[in-house]
Amino acid sequence: MSTELNLETELAVPPAARQRSPLYFAWRRFLANKAAVVGGAVLLVLILAAIFAPLFTKTAPDAQAFLTQSLAFPSAEFWFGVDDLGRDFFTRIVYGARVSLTIGFAAAAFSVLIGIPLGALAGYFGGKTDWIIMRIIELFSVVPSLLAAMLLGALTGGGFVTIIVIAALFGWVNVCLLVRAQVKSFREKEFVRAAQALGASPWYIIRRHLVPNSISPIIVGFVLAIPLAMMLEASLSFLGIGVAPPTASWGQMINVGMNFMFFYWHMAVFPTAALAITVLATTLFGDGLRDALDPTLKGR
């Protein structure tokens, strides 16, 4: 922007109206989306509950402290009742949030770590590189992810880290596609051309210019990868090949609750509701973020 033009605009509008950054408008759009704000607030509460779980729960999550009151219904003392092995169910649900959120965020982080370089490479170089990466993505889209995850789970014996790796293995595809599209559209812009003319290496251009310019799809890809990973964890734990039993996992609790639901409804209702609310809140937050950061994508 030339200085002349700046002067003109300053004369035209009163000095009170500052120039707003795009981020400000994104924030305004986000706040206008009620569902997304509620989703974000619920997610925040869940994160805080997961972090500060030991402060407001009475026992460790796997302490069988109430064996004599096994399967007790919800009451003032046990908010969500007691489970079949004499553990306070509220405690287990809260610690379940820890498992779910840790796996969700860690898997999303790894998805982004795999997806950004591959997406940037495919988008920047095109041609053969793009072809190879797109074939790999195609492979991941035709093999049912749950089946492959089950096989991988059996291969490695399940467990916390394995699930994060599996979820990242299937989560990077979306991030990669988003970054690829963005990089592709920026590749021919003048500032990239200028950098190339000045002799910048492809690696430098990608790191310095293209990835920072793809920050909004990356954020969107990150947030939307979280619920997918949480769902995968719950599904695997539900099938008994996820997080190992003493650790509290909602998927596992739903599986156990299924056997008790006709007589002890609380065993099924609370983990089901917890999982549904968490996944829903995260998705609404992510959708809102996407609409706010990139209004052209709205409703897709």
Partner 1 sequence: MILYIIRRLLSIAVTFFVVSIIVFLMMHAVPGGPFDGNDMPVSEAVRAKLMAKLGLDQPLWVQYLKYMSGVLVLDFGVPYQAPGETVLSLLANAWPPSLLLGGLGVLIGAPLGILLGMAAALRRNTWIDYLASGVATLGLTVPVFVISMLLILVFAVGLNWLPASGWGKPERWILPIATYAAIPLATYARYTRSAMLDTLNRPFVTALRAKGLSERRIIFQHVLRNSAIPMVTVFLPMFIGTATGSIFVEAMFRVPGLGSYFVSSIENRDYPLEMALILMVTVAFCLAYLLSDIAYAWLNPRIRFGEQKR
Left if phi > 0, otherwise alpha if psi is -120 to 50, otherwise beta: which for 170? Answer: alpha
Q: Of the two residues 141 and 196, which places its CB atom closer to partner 1 in the complex?
A: 141
Strand, coil or helix: 170:
helix
b/e 215-237 (16+ beta carbons within 10 angstroms → b): ebbbbbbbbbbbbbbbbbbbbbb
How far is C-alpha 176 from the geometric centre of its chain's CA atoms? 15
Find the part of the chain contacting partner 1 (CB under 8 A) among 1-9, 110-118, 158-166, 282-290. 282-290
**What is the Cα–Cα distance from 56 to 140, expressed in whole angstroms?**
42
Find the part of the chain contacting partner 1 (CB under 8 A) among 10-18, 186-194, 201-209, 231-239. 231-239
Q: Does 283 bind partner 1 (CB under 8 A)?
A: yes
Left if phi > 0, otherwise alpha if psi is -120 to 50, otherwise beta: which for 158? Answer: left
Among 47, 235, 244, 256, binds partner 1 (CB under 8 A): 235
The minimum distance between CB 157 and partner 1, in angstroms, equals: 8
Per-residue mark of binding to partner 1, 154-193 (x: CB under 8 A): xx--------------------------------------
Q: Is the dihedral of CA 41, 46, 47, 48 positive or negative?
A: positive
Q: Does 200 bind partner 1 (CB under 8 A)?
A: no
Among 1, 16, 76, 142, binds partner 1 (CB under 8 A): 142
Site residues (vs partner 1, CB under 8 A): 135, 138-139, 141-144, 146-147, 150-152, 154-155, 227, 231, 234-235, 238-239, 254, 257-258, 261-262, 265, 268-269, 272, 275-276, 279-280, 283-284, 287, 299-300
